[in-house]
Structure 1
Amino acid sequence: MLDKRRLPTIGSSSCHLIFVLALTFTGCVFFSYHNAYQVFTVLPANVMNNPGYFLIPPGNSTEYSPPYTTSELEIGDETTLIDLKSFRFTMNHDMCNNTQPLLLMMIHSSPKNLQKRNVIRETWGRRSSLVTTLFLVGWSEEYKVELEEEDMKYGDLIQGNFLDAYRNMTYKHVMALKWATYHCASAKYILKLDDDVFVHVPAVLDFLKHHLSPWGARRLILCDPLTAKVKRSYRSKWRVSPREYPRRHYPVYCAGWGILYSPDTAFLLYREAQKEPYFWIDDVHITGTIAGKLNLTQVSLHSLVLTKEEKEYMLNDSAFFKEFLFGPPNLTENEIRALHSIVSRG
């Protein structure tokens, strides 16, 4: 990835994670600092001008209605993907039909990564009444037959008719947002993932139900926020020309390996991405540039992600354990299995 510098972590070392939340009851706004396990103070409404996102309280009518309708999209949107005017899903499944999953996990994968997908299916990616899991791929002539056989067996692939290529990552990201918009508006949360990460799903579900809201949220982007200077060197695979991106620094954006969206955020990002010129670094484009235009704020989950050092300690020392939601990115299949075995032991 890019040469990145993490943003300063909010809060003190005694806190796992700090959010600013806005809950509206009878016209009054209450702001709360949360860590992953408890509410420890309540602040007056004038402490923060921009609360970032809203949690849906019980009994709110918003709980029962989708945050958007596809009628808000432009005519012809369903067959358009940014600048592709004849888009279609070549593999598709109505996984959310007549259900309201708490969590929709959309895992970006390369057609060749069957082994990685199978490891996820065997470990943290198992479907349940609360969790819908899908893998997103682009078109591949080389793996066409293998993907068809895989989808016949598992029924969990979503494929678009664009070439699965390095510089087409933004198509895949926006395709994920499109699928969620059209086919799973009932999901309470949407988790965009890469296929080389580990998700502690029971801990994530507990976090959503007890430390966010089981009824959902609005305007939520929860991720590991980053800053980076634009690469101009011809030796860098992340080189971007001044014509592609004239500024010297990217806006604050999310590390793309794991991003938690509320469904209205996914819709807003999707609708705006359909109007914007294509830019191939999807993390920067969608969670940085477009999110900024929509005044959406990234909230850091950095302290609930295992560092590489903590991962090594956990894998090599049975006495060491840290509460976490996500393992670090770029894990091997064996590391994913090992982390799954550790958390499965309780």
Structure 2
Amino acid sequence: MRSEAKYIVGACTLTGLITILVYSSEVNIADASNRIIPESIKSSVSDTKSQLWDIVSNFGGSTPGSSKPYIHQNLHPSNLTLVNLTNIKFPINRDICNVSEIGIVTIVHTAIDHQNLRSIIRDTWGNPKIPGVNTRLVFLTGTTEHDDQQARLLDESNTYHDIVQADFHDSYHNLSYKNVFGKMWTSQFCEQAEFIVKTDDDMFLDLYGIYHLSRGLVNTTTTKQAYDNGEFIFCPIFHPMAIIRDPLNKWYVSEEELEGKDYPPYCTGWIYVTNPKTAGRLAEQATKSKFLWVDDAWVTGILVKALGFKHTNMMEWFVMQGERMVLFKSAQNPDIYHRDYIAAPNGNREIAEYLERHARWCYINQCDSNIYKTKLGQQTKKEKYNDELLERFILHNNGYNSP
């Protein structure tokens, strides 16, 4: 699990600028103001922000999507093949996608003993309150040899009904099985979902922003055609990435396992978005291709290449530093353009609560950012100036250098 960083957040109200130190273990950052705006452009901001923020604070529910039942009668089918494992079984399976309309199903790769991380996700970003939209949360895991761990997992499943387990050993070198398992499960048991979001249990995702971006994807001719054909995957793309040949490296792959110098373009496993039809095709292709344990490179690189389609790039909305996401989310508002992110590493409850609150506020009020308004590279001169000024201001005031 990634180590937690100390977060330094500059907070600003309409009446004056203050800088506060926020330590994830000491201060309730959800109580901090969400403005980080330099005095030189602060006059552009409307005075309704605090009133609108109260709406989010009291926004405890939402209007769900269709509740028409969509029941999967057989949760334990026979003769299923997972990669090269025949007659795969599900020790734990739930009819999680049991309504006819689901906007997003989020598939989280988790380790059996990561109860705390699953709890954080359930209580914060994993169950967004998107008006009129049903979402579903699923934690994927393999099996364990420890009876006490399995018993606790089963108790957790009986309480929250969001865990699915297949009978392969849950280990680092079996991540490709878990990855394809997620594709197989969604294509079999959540086939009516519009989108599948895949991530890991030590991440924060802005599902409000992801849902908004998905609306544009299904309304764009090229990506709509890919979506309909089962050739759709939206992710931060890694390319070129050399195949590691050093036997001492954790990512070592031998020539016997995979020939060549570089992997084909592939997605970071931290976040990608696909759909059930594409997921089903990837799961089927996995039964026909030579196995590789490096799951992201194999499933979203080698298998995608074998199927002959390309990725849609998400890199402008992804950041590898969780503290940077905290800083930039804090600066979002509907009045001044500033870039935003939808995914970053995090395993801290308080920070997840804080980021979820900001994400929900921006969805309701359509913050002026590359999620809700103008993509990076397409900004007006004023938008670009405001974006660069805010970035320099935020990073400088919090001890970082601009990239």
- Whether TM exceeds 0.5 here: the answer is yes
For 1:1-346, list aligned pairs within 5 A: 78-126=79-127, 129-142=133-146, 143-213=149-219, 217-218=227-228, 219-227=231-239, 228-306=241-319, 308=321, 310-314=324-328, 322-329=338-345, 331-346=347-362
Deviations 1:287-335 (A, max 9, x none): 1111001111011111112452632524787999955352323554443
From the two aligned structures, give the one with the greater helix fraction. 2
Could you tell me how far apart the structure 2 residues matched to 1:306 and 1:247 are? 29
User: Is the 2:236–2:313 Cα contact (8 Å) retained in structure 1?
Assistant: yes
The residue number in structure 2 matching 1:32 is none
Deviation at 1:343, TM superposition (A): 2.8
Deviations 1:44-99 (A, max 9, x none): xxxxxxxxxxxxxxxxxxxxxxxxxxxxxxxx984321111231111111122342
Deviation at 1:187, TM superposition (A): 0.9
CA RMSD of aligned residues (A): 2.7
Note closer, same or farther for the CA distance 1:204–1:231 as it changes in structure 2 (3 Å cut).
same
Deviation at 1:265, TM superposition (A): 1.2
Note closer, same or farther for the CA distance 1:206–1:115 as it changes in structure 2 (3 Å cut).
same
Tell me which stretches of 4 or more aligned residues in structure 1 moved more than 6 Å. Answer: 315-321
Note closer, same or farther for the CA distance 1:312–1:131 as it changes in structure 2 (3 Å cut).
closer
Deviations 1:25-52 (A, max 9, x none): xxxxxxxxxxxxxxxxxxxxxxxxxxxx
Deviation at 1:115, TM superposition (A): 0.5
User: Is the 2:106–2:199 Cα contact (8 Å) retained in structure 1?
Assistant: yes
Note closer, same or farther for the CA distance 1:150–1:233 as it changes in structure 2 (3 Å cut).
same
Deviation at 1:336, TM superposition (A): 2.4
The amino acid that maps onto 1:313 is L
From the two aligned structures, give the one with the greater strand fraction. 1
Note closer, same or farther for the CA distance 1:248–1:315 as it changes in structure 2 (3 Å cut).
same
Could you tell me how far apart the structure 2 residues matched to 1:304 and 1:212 are? 18
Could you tell me how far apart the structure 1 residues matched to 2:337 and 2:126 are? 22
Structure exhibiting the larger radius of gyration computed from Cα positions: 2
State which drifts further: 224-233 or 302-311. 302-311
Q: Which runs of 5+ in 2 are unaligned?
A: 2-76, 363-403
Partner of 2:154, secondary structure, is helix
Could you tell me how far apart the structure 1 residues matched to 2:84 and 2:106 are? 26
User: Is the 2:204–2:346 Cα contact (8 Å) retained in structure 1?
Assistant: no
Deviation at 1:283, TM superposition (A): 0.6
Deviation at 1:127, TM superposition (A): 6.5
Partner of 1:102, secondary structure, is strand
Q: Among the aligned pairs, what percent are the same residue?
A: 26
Note closer, same or farther for the CA distance 1:127–1:315 as it changes in structure 2 (3 Å cut).
closer
Partner of 1:328, secondary structure, is strand
Give the count of matched residue pairs: 272
Deviation at 1:157, TM superposition (A): 0.2
Partner of 2:218, secondary structure, is coil
Note closer, same or farther for the CA distance 1:328–1:322 as it changes in structure 2 (3 Å cut).
farther
Could you tell me how far apart the structure 1 residues matched to 2:99 and 2:326 are? 42
Note closer, same or farther for the CA distance 1:234–1:210 as it changes in structure 2 (3 Å cut).
closer
Partner of 2:246, secondary structure, is coil
Note closer, same or farther for the CA distance 1:188–1:253 as it changes in structure 2 (3 Å cut).
same
Partner of 1:79, secondary structure, is coil
